[in-house]
Amino acid sequence: MKYLLFLILSIPLYLILYKYYPDKFEEKYHYYFTGFIIINLIILYLFTYETLFIYKLFQNIYYSDKPMVNLNGVDQNQLLKTQISQNQMNQCYQCHNPIFSQDLYLYKLQYIQPLQLGGVNDISNLKMVCPSCYSFQ
Ligand SMILES: [Zn+2]
């Protein structure tokens, strides 16, 4: 509540300062101040009414061992794709066009037998199809 009061009181304070020292304020400061107020209102709303969401968000950040952003740019599926590509003799599963290792990131992994039809979540049930085969499904 004090925080909201501070935000509400900061607006007339800003306007008074602007009234007496208009030469010190550039136009961009109005945008900065508006942004400051809006961001603080959002933070206030989240911490007041969405406490559970904030709690879960920080819990996920704290307990996750994987980085949120992969900075080294390596596709996490690269090894899996290489292995499946070799199993398929470096050919697309459907059209049998050759798979080139530098284009692996373009190919899509799919289940041979979909999970909802009783397929297993295992590497033996995975196929790799080229982008054109994938787009025609
Ligand atoms: Zn294909």
Smallest CA-to-CA distance from 87 within 103, 105, 109 is with 109
Q: What is residue 70's predicted lDDT score, i.e. its pLDDT? A: 61
Mean pLDDT on 115-125: 89
Asked if 137 contacts 128 with a C-beta cutoff of 8 angstroms, the reply is no
In a domain, 111, yes or no: yes
Band of residue 126 on the pLDDT scale cut at 50, 70, 90: very high
Smallest CA-to-CA distance from 82 within 65, 99, 64 is with 99
In a domain, 87, yes or no: yes
- Domain extent, residue 15, equals 2-62
Kindly report the backbone phi and psi dihedral angles of residue 16, in degrees, each rounded to the nearest multiple of 5, phi listed first.
-65, -45
Q: 48 C-alpha vs ligand 1 centroid, how far in Å?
A: 52
Taking only the tens place, the pLDDT of each residue in 8-66 is 899 999 999 999 988 888 888 899 999 999 999 999 999 889 889 889 888 888 887 76
Q: 77 C-alpha vs ligand 1 centroid, how far in Å?
A: 19
Q: 134 C-alpha vs ligand 1 centroid, how far in Å?
A: 7
Q: How many domains does the chain have?
A: 2
In a domain, 67, yes or no: no
Q: 92 C-alpha vs ligand 1 centroid, how far in Å?
A: 5
Alpha-carbon distance of 6 to 126, in angstroms, equals 58
* Residue listed under structure tokens 């009414």: 49
What percent of the chain shows pLDDT beyond 70?
92
Which tokens is 135 given? 């787009």
Q: 81 C-alpha vs ligand 1 centroid, how far in Å?
A: 15
Asked whether the predicted pLDDT for residue 67 surpasses 80, the reply is no
